[in-house]
Structure 1
Amino acid sequence: MDIASLSTAMSTQNILNDVSVAMLSKSLDTVEDMGDGMVKIMESSVTPYLGQNIDYYV
């Protein structure tokens, strides 16, 4: 294998690695945002007084 083709192959691999890292970083940001949203939903759904009183009419 000559130096030029080796250099091209290594450059291509470096670019692919950079793209993979960027995509993984974006995925991690998305998962963190979804987790934050889930925490907010869970916090807003906590109502300790719910179900303690029953209104009924006959």
Structure 2
Amino acid sequence: MNIAAIGNSNLTLAVSDTGSMNAIDMAMLKKSLDAVETNGAMITQMMEQSVNPNIGANIDIRL
């Protein structure tokens, strides 16, 4: 029985699993960053509206 060959095959599987886990981790991180960016933009918009809360609240219609 070649113990070195068994150890190398297990190491290869572990490295490939690590690579796929890194890819999954990176995808999850990208999703999180996109969500944070979207929330930041929404907070910025809400803060801008709070400075002038009456803008767009009234419509004057005269014929």
Q: TM-score range by the shorter chain?
A: 0.7 to 0.9
Higher relative contact order (CA 8 A, sep 6+): 2
Match of 2:49 among 27, 34, 44: 44
Deviations 1:6-25 (A, max 9, x none): 10000001111110111011
Unaligned runs of 5+ in 1: 48-58
Q: TM-score, normalising length from structure 1?
A: 0.75
- The count of corresponding residues between Structure 1 and Structure 2 is 49
TM-score by length of 2: 0.70
Q: Name the % identity.
A: 38
Residue 27 (str. 1) matches residue 32 (str. 2)? yes
Aligned residues: CA RMSD: 1.9
